[in-house]
Amino acid sequence: MKKQKVTEEEAPQGISKLPNLHLVQILSLLPTKDAFTTCLVSPTWRRLPTLIDSFNFTCSTDREREDFSFIQNAVAHSLSSKIIKFKLDLTNLSLPNCSFRPEYETVISGCFSFAVEREVENVLLWSQYSNGCTLPESLCTCSSLITLDVKHCGFNNAVISWNSLKSIKLRHLMLTDDEIVKLLSDCPLLETMELYSYTDFHRLEINSLKLKTLKLKDYVRCDGNGDDLEILSPYIQHLEISGEDLKCRLVDVSSVVNAKLIYNFACIKGIPSTYVEDCCRDYHQVVYTLVQDNLQKLCYATDLTIGTWFTQVMCTLQFKGSPISEFNCKYLTLMLHMTTFNMYGALLRASPHVETINIELEYTLLDDFLIYNFCCNSELLDLAKEYNMDLLSGFQALSFTTSRRLRSSSPQMCAGKIMSKRALKRLPNFQNFCY
């Protein structure tokens, strides 16, 4: 059956048969500038863009005056009594003198005052670091706000009161311990908190029964050879931590069922004036002990994801015969930056309850540089020993009560190359799958 061609004249008439309510819902999904362009379709469409309940604005350097003028006009002509989402993305806007013009600040402030008056529920405000954007005062006490996503936007000691807020994402912000405590107390219904490119605070204590998800992504080191971060959150269920040179201590995460640890911590040789080989080994022992403690705190998680550094440390501990808490996780994911991985035995010995192992191998030339220029001699010796450990070395004393699946994102890690027939005979219940 041949498809019938729809002419440009017929298309608007066809879609125009939809109820206005549905048309407004469709237009609300578009970038606001595109939504307002549809008023040219026909006279009957002229009013529809003024009824949209979601706004999606972007500004760029080459069109800054036109963009801000359009934003001001679109808000001024809005007839919607309720705003579901208001998005203002200024990341492509580079301003001279690293500051907003007074008229632009007036437009931004007016936009969010309008959104707050219309009981906005979801807000996204992204800015460039150099622009020095500040969270609009009207937004700081918005009682209807449910989700908030801000980037390079300071609070400047504002009075915060978000009694309905359930999800917050803070990107590229410096927050002290006291500011974190105050923020949590001002959001009594918060369920999810995500911090991106975070820095400056050292203790995160969350005692709320509501907050279940905590994501700390891409920790940024300010100075020194890494910072300490303590996490005391007995009621969170989903935990994710990533970043460079982060000495993270899990004090109490007893309710976590899903954990993702892909952070790393560099050797003390990163401080040239204090680097001595003997001190280095002592330093590694401190870090290894910290990893052991963290693993013990997560022993009841059922879904665990660990990165390259964490995996190497864990396998080193196994190789040295150091005790590691037995995992109760059923799903184990390894996110590795390396070309090959031969340490399955060490991992399986520590995780007898695992039913599915996902291995994600990602390798770039930068990985060689990072490993061999930032690892000290102690680390390189340990890694060399680990790489010589074959699959069977960890299987000798293993007994399984559950079948296992091995999934890999790497085509090189097919079942035939991962396990020999001899290994399979030793483990009749071990099932291999490659995807």
This prediction's pTM: 0.80
| Predicted local confidence at residue 100, as pLDDT | 65
pLDDT digits (tens, 9 = 90+) for 39-59: 877 777 889 999 999 999 999
Give the β-pairing of 192-196 and 213-219. parallel
User: Between β-strands 227-232 and 246-252, what pairing exists: parallel, antiparallel or unpaired?
Assistant: parallel
DSSP, residue by residue, 33-71: HHHHHGGGS-GGGSSGGGG-SEEEEEEEGGGHHHHHHHH
- pLDDT tens digits along 393-402: 443 333 333 4
In sequence order, which residues have a C-beta less than 8 Å from that of residue 78 and are 6 or more positions away?
A: 50, 52, 55, 114, 118
Cα–Cα distance for residue pair 283/267, rounded to 1 Å: 8
Where along the chain do its domains lie?
268-435
Compute CA distances 317 → 178, 351, 401, whole Å.
36, 14, 25
Q: What is the 3-state secondary structure (H, E, C) of 1-19?
A: CCCCCCCCCHHHHHHCCCC
Side chain identity at 317, as an amino acid letter? L
Q: Give the residue with greater pLDDT, 413 vs 376.
A: 376
Max mean pLDDT among 10-14, 74-78, 131-135, 276-280 falls in 74-78
Query: Residue 135: CA atoms inside 13 Å, Cβ hemisphere, count?
Result: 22
Q: How far is CA 377 from CA 175, 370, 373, 382, in A?
A: 36, 14, 10, 9
Question: Under a CB-based contact definition with an 8 Å cutoff, are residues 380 and 408 in contact?
Answer: no
Count CB-CB contacts under 10 A for residue 405: 15
Range among 16-25, 282-291, 423-432 with highest mean pLDDT value: 16-25
What's the Cα-to-Cα distance from 245 to each of 174, 196, 394, 418, rounded to whole Å?
A: 17, 15, 30, 32
* Span 263-286, pLDDT tens digits: 877 666 555 444 444 567 777 777
Count of other CB atoms within 10 angstroms of residue 296: 14
**DSSP code per residue over 188-218:** TT--EEEEES-BS--EEE---SS--EEEEEE
| pLDDT-above-70 percentage for the chain | 69
